[in-house]
């Protein structure tokens, strides 16, 4: 695993894209085929299942290190990462061995089938054989969580460099329902397998939030606008008499949304559409919370099915009559999509995402103001002449979201973050005033700069009133402007509201704590937008 550890370290050490691609390409050139394949699998989110519970790992590591469990836990709080804590806390390996990544993955997969008594000696033996980064990576394989700071796009670029196969071809081959156990480097990367093609989705094209003013995009005639729906991105595939529904995270969601099976009755074979899965009733999208009840469920009870029926709000056509039409300009794809969908009866679970027609940017800006009332996040702008690209790219597609809702809130609890943010207080709980009391209503952990996190961390350390495990109650002194995309009534929260995408917009150091918003202010927002 030494080679893989070297790759991991190289990726971990740099934020420069070129350096990452070079390290990966070199690895793909040199590593054994089985290891390359597993690396591709890991980097595209296909990792072996968790082989043992975190609780057992902690106990065994503490025992092996000859330390009481409480001391292990204290150390874990500081490190913020279980795999790393274990790697650091164990004594150095007795005798390091260098076996390939594929060996350790096979080992971890075998572990999953064993009972705990049988697992323990094998895990202890692995800890004895691996040092430093390799031990850390083995633990990551054991615990199932793995992030290497490499996007699928970067990995594909490196693969392309190493194999000479074009990026789009590779991206397409890597999509869909493959697993490293069932395929090989040869079959997955080097050859195009027609049987896998039936269910294989196209890579999604993702947009960035617009940076400057919309006017800067050029003549309005070049652009198409539509609502930016607040649902789950999905790609619906009808091929060979079957249908498949893929998420943006390349998860097959077909069974989770049985309503879409009816699409087979209305769409011809050889059709692939890009769209948004929305909970939808009476011609309107339901709040995201309704859809949320369906996420994560493998099977859907009748009651939920009736209360939160879904449709695919279609906005692009990628394949027509079995032909990949992604190279055709968007304007033409949209016209073909319209022909396919506009006359479908309401029973069909497909809707056409309506065009937000506009003649000038000011007019469009006015339409955008109505987003929140329409239950959408804002607008999408698409260049009519653009092909359907893959990955997140700037230029042809832009999100133009409405400004978030905001409220000024008081920080009352702080908790240290994980990974890169371990040892820094980054996860905060915020409250609003209810008379003389502060009522917590949301958590947020993003939006500040590293420098601000450093400063607030120093402040938290000095202003802790109470500790509950890793959580510190702090003096209510600092006001933050919290931004969020939506607000819903909630029985699960003390404040009675649940926010969508809360984050810290600004640290309001100018604002005294008494001037933070109140529960009544929140309730007014709920009345207006809930």
Partner 1 sequence: MAKPDLLTVAEAGIYCAAGDFYIDPWRPVDRALITHGHADHARPGHARYLATEAAAPVIRYRLGVAVETIRYGEERRIGSTNVSFHPAGHVPGSAQIRVEHKGEVWVASGDYKVAPDRLSEPFEPVRCDTFITECTFGLPIFRWQAEAEAMAEIDAWWAKNRAEGRFSVLGAYALGKAQRLLAGIDSSQGPILTHGAVENVNDVLRGQGLPLPDTLRVTPEIDLKEHPGALVIATPSAMGGPWMKRFGQASTAFASGWMALRGVRRRRAADRGFVISDHADWAGLGQAITETGATRVIATHGYTSVFRRWLEDQGYEAGVITTQYEGESLDAPEEDVVE
Count CB atoms within 10 A of the CB of residue 245.
Answer: 22
Q: Which of 34, 67, 365, 489 binds partner 1 (CB under 8 A)?
A: 67
When asked if residue 151 is in the footprint of partner 1 (CB under 8 A), the reply is: no
When asked if residue 89 is in the footprint of partner 1 (CB under 8 A), the reply is: yes
If we measure between CA atoms, which residue out of 63, 1, 76, 61 comes closest to residue 32?
1
| Distance (Å, whole) CA 187 – CA 180 | 10
- The residue count for binding partner 1 (CB under 8 A) is 32
Q: Which stretch binds partner 1 (CB under 8 A): 81-89, 108-116, 188-196, 365-373?
A: 81-89
When asked if residue 15 is in the footprint of partner 1 (CB under 8 A), the reply is: yes
| Distance (Å, whole) CA 487 – CA 497 | 7
Q: Which stretch binds partner 1 (CB under 8 A): 62-70, 180-188, 247-255, 493-501?
A: 62-70
Q: Which of 30, 147, 420, 477 binds partner 1 (CB under 8 A)?
A: 420
Q: Which stretch binds partner 1 (CB under 8 A): 69-77, 137-145, 157-165, 393-401?
A: 69-77
Query: Which of helix, strand or coil describes residue 278?
Result: strand
Please say which residue, 337 or 416, places its beta carbon nearer to partner 1: 416
| Distance (Å, whole) CA 350 – CA 344 | 8
When asked if residue 79 is in the footprint of partner 1 (CB under 8 A), the reply is: yes
- Residue 462 annotated to the active site: no
Q: Which of 35, 84, 128, 134 binds partner 1 (CB under 8 A)?
A: 84
Q: Which of 65, 304, 471, 526 binds partner 1 (CB under 8 A)?
A: 65
Write the Ramachandran bin of 483: left for phi over 0, alpha for psi from -120 to 50, otherwise beta.
Answer: beta
When asked if residue 143 is in the footprint of partner 1 (CB under 8 A), the reply is: no
When asked if residue 131 is in the footprint of partner 1 (CB under 8 A), the reply is: no
Which residues on neighbouring strands pair with residue 197, listed in sequence order?
Answer: none
Give least dist CB 65 to partner 1, A: 6
> Which residue's structure tokens are 């990955």?
391
When asked if residue 141 is in the footprint of partner 1 (CB under 8 A), the reply is: no
If we measure between CA atoms, which residue out of 264, 295, 261, 259 comes closest to residue 280?
259
Q: Which stretch binds partner 1 (CB under 8 A): 361-369, 390-398, 420-428, 515-523?
A: 420-428
| Distance (Å, whole) CA 176 – CA 203 | 9
| Distance (Å, whole) CA 139 – CA 309 | 41
Q: Which stretch binds partner 1 (CB under 8 A): 85-93, 397-405, 430-438, 440-448?
A: 85-93
DSSP state of 355: B
| Distance (Å, whole) CA 517 – CA 430 | 11
When asked if residue 517 is in the footprint of partner 1 (CB under 8 A), the reply is: no
Please say which residue, 65 or 304, places its beta carbon nearer to partner 1: 65
When asked if residue 53 is in the footprint of partner 1 (CB under 8 A), the reply is: no
C-alpha dist (Å) from residue 480 to 61, 431, 497: 40, 10, 18
Please tell me which residue in 20, 120, 228, 382 is annotated as part of the active site. Answer: 228
If we measure between CA atoms, which residue out of 99, 103, 98, 79 comes closest to residue 89?
79
Chain positions 438 to 457 lying near partner 1, rule: CB under 8 A, are: 450, 454
Chain positions 453 to 492 lying near partner 1, rule: CB under 8 A, are: 454, 458
Q: Which of 29, 45, 69, 74 binds partner 1 (CB under 8 A)?
A: 74
Please say which residue, 384 or 418, places its beta carbon nearer to partner 1: 418
> Which residue's structure tokens are 């918003």?
517
Instruction: Give yes or no for a contact between 99 and 89, defined as CB atoms under 8 angstroms apart.
Output: no
DSSP secondary structure, 47-59, as one string: -PPP-S-HHHHHH
Q: Which of 80, 220, 234, 486 binds partner 1 (CB under 8 A)?
A: 80
When asked if residue 419 is in the footprint of partner 1 (CB under 8 A), the reply is: yes
Residues 6+ apart with CB under 8 A from 408: 479, 480, 481, 482, 508, 511, 515, 516, 517
Instruction: Give yes or no for a contact between 231 and 417, defined as CB atoms under 8 angstroms apart.
Output: no
Q: Which of 88, 187, 365, 489 binds partner 1 (CB under 8 A)?
A: 88
> Which residue's structure tokens are 């000095």?
462
Give least dist CB 47 to partner 1, A: 19
67, two tokens: 């330390």
When asked if residue 14 is in the footprint of partner 1 (CB under 8 A), the reply is: yes
When asked if residue 13 is in the footprint of partner 1 (CB under 8 A), the reply is: yes
When asked if residue 268 is in the footprint of partner 1 (CB under 8 A), the reply is: no
Q: Which stretch binds partner 1 (CB under 8 A): 68-76, 282-290, 291-299, 395-403?
A: 68-76
DSSP secondary structure, 177-206, as one string: S--TTT--HIIIIIS--GGGGGGPPPPPEE
| Distance (Å, whole) CA 203 – CA 389 | 8
Cα-based angle 335, 291, 46 (whole degrees, multiple of 5)? 85
Please say which residue, 365 or 422, places its beta carbon nearer to partner 1: 422
When asked if residue 421 is in the footprint of partner 1 (CB under 8 A), the reply is: yes
When asked if residue 78 is in the footprint of partner 1 (CB under 8 A), the reply is: yes
| Distance (Å, whole) CA 484 – CA 464 | 27
Q: Which residues bind partner 1 (CB under 8 A)?
A: 12-15, 65, 67-68, 70-72, 74-75, 78-81, 84-85, 88-89, 92, 136, 418-424, 450, 454, 458
Question: What amino acid positions are annotated as catalytic residues?
Answer: 228
């Amino acid at each position: 695993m030494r080679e893989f550890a070297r790759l991991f370290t190289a990726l971990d050490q740099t934020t420069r894209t070129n350096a990452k691609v070079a390290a990966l390409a070199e690895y793909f050139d040199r590593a054994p085929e089985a290891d390359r394949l597993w690396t591709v699998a890991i980097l595209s989110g296909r990792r072996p299942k968790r082989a043992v519970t975190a609780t057992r790992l902690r106990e065994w590591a503490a025992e092996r290190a000859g330390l009481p469990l409480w001391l292990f836990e204290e150390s874990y709080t500081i490190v913020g990462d279980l795999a790393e804590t274990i790697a650091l806390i164990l004594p150095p390996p007795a005798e390091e061995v260098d076996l390939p990544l594929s060996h350790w993955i096979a080992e971890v997969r075998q572990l999953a089938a064993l009972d705990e008594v049988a697992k323990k000696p094998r895990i202890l033996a692995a800890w004895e054989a691996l040092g430093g980064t390799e031990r850390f990576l083995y633990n990551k394989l054991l615990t199932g969580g793995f992030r290497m700071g490499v996007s699928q796009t970067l990995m594909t670029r490196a693969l392309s460099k190493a194999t000479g196969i074009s990026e789009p071809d590779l991206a397409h081959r890597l999509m869909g329902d493959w697993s490293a156990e069932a395929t090989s480097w040869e079959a997955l990367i080097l050859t195009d397998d027609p049987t896998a093609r039936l269910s294989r989705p196209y890579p999604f094209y993702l947009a960035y939030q617009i940076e400057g003013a919309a006017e800067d995009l050029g003549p309005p005639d070049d652009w198409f606008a539509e609502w930016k729906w607040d649902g789950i991105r999905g790609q619906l595939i009808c091929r060979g008499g079957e249908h498949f529904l893929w998420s943006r995270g390349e998860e097959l969601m077909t069974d989770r949304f049985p309503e879409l099976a009816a699409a087979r009755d209305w769409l011809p074979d050889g059709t692939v559409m890009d769209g948004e899965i929305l909970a939808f009733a009476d011609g309107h999208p339901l709040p995201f919370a309704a859809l949320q009840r369906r996420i994560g469920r493998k099977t859907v009870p009748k009651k939920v099915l009736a209360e939160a029926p879904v449709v695919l709000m279609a906005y692009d056509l990628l394949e027509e009559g079995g032909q990949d039409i992604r190279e055709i300009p968007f304007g033409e794809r949209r016209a073909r999509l319209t022909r396919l969908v506009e006359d479908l009866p309401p029973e069909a679970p497909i809707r056409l995402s309506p065009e937000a027609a506009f003649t000038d940017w000011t007019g469009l800006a006015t339409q955008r103001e109505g987003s929140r009332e329409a239950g959408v996040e804002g607008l999408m702008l698409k260049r009519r002449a653009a092909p359907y690209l893959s990955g997140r790219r700037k230029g042809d597609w832009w999100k133009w979201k409405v400004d978030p809702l905001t409220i000024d809130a008081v920080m009352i609890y702080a908790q240290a973050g994980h990974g890169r943010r371990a040892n820094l207080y980054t996860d905060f709980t915020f409250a609003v005033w209810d008379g003389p009391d502060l009522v917590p209503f949301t958590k947020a952990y993003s939006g500040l700069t590293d420098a601000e996190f450093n400063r607030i961390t120093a402040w938290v350390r000095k202003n802790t009133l109470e500790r509950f495990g890793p959580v510190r109650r702090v003096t209510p002194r600092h006001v933050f402007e919290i931004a969020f995309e939506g607000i819903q009534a909630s029985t699960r929260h003390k404040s009675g509201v649940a926010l969508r995408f809360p984050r810290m917009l600004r640290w309001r150091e100018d604002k005294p704590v008494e001037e933070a918003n109140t529960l009544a202010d929140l309730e007014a927002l709920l009345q207006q937008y809930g």
